[in-house]
Each structure stands twice: as structure tokens, then as C-alpha cells.
Amino acid sequence: MRITVVGDLLLDVDLWGPTQRTAPDGGMPIVDISRESVRAGGAGLVATLLRQDGHDVRLVAAIGVDEAAARLRGLLEGVELHLGASNAPTPVKTRLQAGEGTIARFDVGCAPAPAPEVTDEMRAAVGEADAVVVADYGRGMTADAGIRSSLAAVAAHVPVVWDPHPRGSRPIAGVVATPNRSEAAGFAATEDMEAAAARLRAEWCAVAVAVTLGAEGVLLHADRVERRPARVVNVVDGCGSGDRFASAVAAALAAGAGLGEAIDHAVHRTADFLEAGGVAALAGLGVR
């Protein structure tokens, strides 16, 4: 089964270490870095998860020419790459981890980017898919007219799951959209999730809107409004849960599952992912 991931590439870095003392010149905690974890983020994480699941994965994205881009290419071994020039630095998001949580995050190269370059090869990779996941991180790939045209054409006959971003572009018609609670509230300008899902489904002409609600499960708006419960798990690190959910929905739909079945499958896979430690569970699978 060929699944194409379309979206924006990031490099995610975690720095780990204990903090047992404070700096004498300011009282801030000192973290003694003992470990670094580097992984493909954004659309790269979605591709990594799908490859881990055993799928034939193609990645359509833009990439730079800097050191972070070279590291990303190395982390995406096993994924068929269809990459255009980003014309911008590679975004790098570094989390400083101490004890049981993140105490700071440092972003580099995350300023608004110019329009990326898109090739005929990239558009063709979209059209040849059995399913598509759009991982929009607001850096312009989904705003490209050619990519949007290819997505619109393929959505007429295969599942397209669109994980939207507040700074991203409007989803095309015919997708299953998977915003989280805060994204849905922002897009629809309401905190009422049932109203938000209904409004977004109508505005986006979506097949369905599945709002992820963390421990509360998923609010699914398709032919009717449904609440799909989630298994209670101890979440240490929720990073990547939205990517896990969207990728699992797409894979299940491509395998022939009905919408409700695909959502339940994705909720279960996301719980497993979080229970295993989230992105920390990816050690050895596109993470260094």
C-alpha cells in the first residue's frame, strides 16, 4: 500500500539531562546534558511512523541545503523522497528535557518561509498514492497551486487525511480533517467543539472532521456527531500524538476500513504510542 505524505519538514532535537544545581550568577537551573535524540519532525515524523508500520511511503516536501537538511535526509532512510528546494533554512526545534518534562524549547529557522519549489515529480507522487496524509506545518507546501490541484484530483478516489495548522492553508474539499481542540477552536472561532466541527466540515467541504480531544477521545462529525472514547493512559510526552493519529486514520481508510472503524483504530494506535513514551518509542526508527 503506497501512502504519500505531503507537507513541511522539520528537524526535532531533544536534549536530556538531570538538573541538580543552580547557576551562582543567576539562580537558573543547570542541566547536565547526557543524551541527544534527533528525529525527522512535521511531515517527516508522519512518514517515519508509516514506514515503521510497514507501508510503502513517499514524502513530498521542501528541503534546504544546510546541515539540518543533511541530517533530515539521513533520518528518512527507507522513505521515497520527492523533495523540492525550500529556499529557506531548515526549521530546527530543540526541547530541553530535565526530570519528567520539558523545561524549554529553542526554535531556529522557524520564521515565515518563501514559497517552496514544486516539481512535476512531486505532483506525480501525490497522484499515484493509495492514500495521502497532509501534514501542514504552515510553511507553504499546501498553498502551492499545483500541489492543491493534485490533492484535489486524488481526493476524488482515495482517502486524504489533512492535519491542519493555524498558519497553514485551507484544506481542499473531500478530506478527513483532524484538528486538535485548540486548532478547531481557532479555525471556527468557538470553544463549542460540536459547533466547531460542524462549521469546519461545512466551510471546508470535508468528508468528516475529527477533532482530537486528548484523554476525552475524538469528536467525529460526518453524517452525524459521534464521540469516540480513548483509553486512559499515563502520558509522559504528548509530542507527535496528532501525527500518529492522522497517519493511522489514513492507513486504516486505505486498507478498506469504514470511517468510524478507522477513527477507533487511530485512537487505539495513538494510545499505544503515548503509553510507550511518544516519540521516545521511535528509538532506532528514524531517530538518532
Which is nearest to 52 in space by CA: 76, 21, 23, 30?
A: 76
Cβ-Cβ contacts under 8 Å for 176 (sequence gap 6 or more): 159, 160, 161, 162, 206, 207, 208, 209, 210, 249, 253, 259
Cβ-Cβ contacts under 8 Å for 93 (sequence gap 6 or more): 10, 11, 12, 13, 41, 105, 106, 107, 108, 110
Active site residue 163: no
Is residue 170 within 8 Å of residue 199, measured between CB atoms? no
Q: Which residue has the cell 485551507?
A: 170
Length of the chain in terms of residues written: 288
Selected catalytic residue, list 14, 136, 163, 243: 243
The phi and psi torsions of 16 (rounded to 5 degrees) equal -120, 145
Distance CA(5)–CA(139), nearest Å, equals 15
Active site residue ranges: 243
